[in-house]
C-alpha cells in the first residue's frame, strides 16, 4: 500500500458519517491492516490505534485480502494462522499497488530487495538518480524509496532531480538531497484533521511548528487540507506550483 493514511481517513470519515446519521449504535466498523501496524511511522500508528479504540473501531493486523464473494458478502483474508472469513454489508478495499506496466517491464525497476516485486524504480533515495542509468531520475510514486509516496513529496523531489540534471549539463556538482519528506493530511472527522509530515528517519517535520501540532485533531488542519492543499495539488498538475 502506497499511502496508508488514505484508508485510515476513509475509516474515520465513515465512522463520523454514521455518528452524524444517528446510526452508530447499529453499526460495526472493522479495519483490517495488511501488516502489523496502522501507519509506517510508529508514533502516528499508535495515535491512529488510540483514536480507533476511542471510537470503537475494531482493528485486525496481518490480514491480506485474498478473495471477495459479492453474492454472499464474504471477504476472505490470509492470516498467519490460515484463511479467515468476514461478513460485510459494505466493504472498502485498497488494491495491491505496483508500478505501471511500462516501467515494470523495463530495465528500470529494482532487480532485488523489497521494491523489486512491484517494479518501483531503482533510484538513490537522496539524489533520486537511477543507480544503473545515471541519466535517469525517478520522482513521485514510481520512485523505489522508503517513503515519499504522496503528491506533497513530489513537490520536494522534483527540484532535487532538476538540480542534479542542471548540474550534469553545466558540469558542476550538486548537493541537493531529498530527505524523504512525506505529508499526510489525515482527516479524522468532517471539520478536523491531523497534518502529519515526516522524513526517512520517521522524524515528524511540521511545516508550521508552534502553530499546527502534527498529532492533534485540529480545525485549522482540516481547513488547510480542504481549502489550501487541494488547489495546490491542482496547480501542481498544471505546472504552476
Ligand X SMILES: Cc1cc2nc3c(=O)[nH]c(=O)nc-3n(C[C@H](O)[C@H](O)[C@H](O)COP(=O)(O)OP(=O)(O)OC[C@H]3O[C@@H](n4cnc5c(N)ncnc54)[C@H](O)[C@@H]3O)c2cc1C
Residue 179 near residue 199 (C-beta atoms within 8 A): yes
Bridge partners (DSSP) of residue 77 are 65, 84
Nearer to ligand X, 152 or 218 (CB): 152
- Choose the catalytic residue: 8, 41, 184, 195: 184
Residue 144 near residue 122 (C-beta atoms within 8 A): yes
Catalytic annotation on 184? Answer: yes
Closest distance to ligand X from the beta carbon of 15 (Å): 17
Question: Does 149 participate in binding ligand X (rule CB under 6 A)?
Answer: yes
Judged by CB under 6 A, how many residues of this single chain contact ligand X?
14
Closest distance to ligand X from the beta carbon of 102 (Å): 4
Nearer to ligand X, 149 or 189 (CB): 149
Question: Does 3 participate in binding ligand X (rule CB under 6 A)?
Answer: yes
x-or-dash string of contact with ligand X, 162-201, rule CB under 6 A: ---------------------x-x----------------
Q: Which of residues 44, 152, 160, 196 is near ligand X by CB under 6 A?
A: 152
* Residue closest to ligand X when measured from CB atoms: 140
Catalytic annotation on 122? Answer: no
Question: Does 147 participate in binding ligand X (rule CB under 6 A)?
Answer: no
Subset of residues 52 to 111 that bind ligand X, contact rule: CB under 6 A: 100, 102
Can you read off the three cell numbers belonging to residue 109? 525497476
Nearer to ligand X, 51 or 141 (CB): 141
Nearer to ligand X, 130 or 149 (CB): 149
- Choose the catalytic residue: 3, 41, 57, 194: 3
Nearer to ligand X, 154 or 194 (CB): 154
What SS3 string covers the chain?
A: CCCCHHHHHHHHHHHHHHHHHCCHHHCCEEEECCCCCCCCCHHHHHHHHHHHHHCCEEEECCCEEEEEECCCCEEEEEECCEEEEEECCCCCCCCCCCCCHHHHCCCCECCCCCCCCCCCECECCCCCEECCCCCCECCHHHECCCCCCCHHHHHHHHHHHHHHHHHHHHCCCCCCCCCCCEEEEEEEECCEEEEEEECCCCCECCCCCCCCCCCCCEHHHHHHHHHHHHHHHHHHHCCCC
Closest distance to ligand X from the beta carbon of 191 (Å): 16
Count the neighbouring beta carbons within 10 Å of the beta carbon of residue 198: 23
Residues assigned a catalytic role: 3, 184
Binding site for ligand X (CB under 6 A): 3, 6, 100, 102, 140-142, 149-152, 154, 183, 185
Amino acid at each position: 500500500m502506497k499511502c496508508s493514511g488514505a484508508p485510515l481517513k476513509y475509516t474515520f470519515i465513515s465512522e463520523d458519517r454514521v455518528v452524524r446519521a444517528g446510526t452508530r449504535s447499529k453499526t460495526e466498523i472493522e479495519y483490517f491492516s495488511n501488516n502489523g501496524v496502522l501507519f509506517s511511522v510508529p508514533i502516528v500508528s499508535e495515535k491512529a490505534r488510540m483514536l480507533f479504540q476511542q471510537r470503537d473501531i475494531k482493528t485486525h493486523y496481518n490480514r491480506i485480502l485474498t478473495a471477495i464473494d459479492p453474492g454472499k458478502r464474504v471477504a476472505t483474508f490470509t492470516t498467519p494462522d490460515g484463511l479467515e472469513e468476514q461478513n460485510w454489508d459494505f466493504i472498502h478495499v485498497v488494491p495491491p499497488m505496483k508500478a505501471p506496466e511500462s516501467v515494470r517491464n523495463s530495465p528500470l525497476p529494482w532487480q532485488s530487495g523489497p521494491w523489486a516485486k512491484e517494479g518501483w524504480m531503482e533510484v538513490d533515495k537522496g539524489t533520486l538518480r537511477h543507480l544503473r542509468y545515471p541519466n535517469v531520475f525517478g520522482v513521485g510514486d514510481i520512485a523505489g524509496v522508503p517513503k515519499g509516496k504522496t503528491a506533497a513529496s513530489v513537490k520536494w523531489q522534483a527540484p532535487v532531480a532538476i538540480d542534479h540534471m542542471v548540474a550534469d549539463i553545466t558540469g558542476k556538482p550538486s548537493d541537493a538531497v531529498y530527505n524523504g519528506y512525506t505529508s499526510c493530511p489525515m482527516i479524522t472527522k468532517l471539520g478536523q484533521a491531523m497534518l502529519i509530515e515526516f522524513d526517512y528517519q520517521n522524524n515528524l517535520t511540521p511545516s508550521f511548528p508552534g502553530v499546527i501540532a502534527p498529532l492533534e485533531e485540529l480545525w485549522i488542519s482540516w481547513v488547510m487540507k480542504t481549502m489550501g492543499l487541494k488547489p495546490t495539488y491542482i496547480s501542481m498538475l498544471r505546472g504552476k506550483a
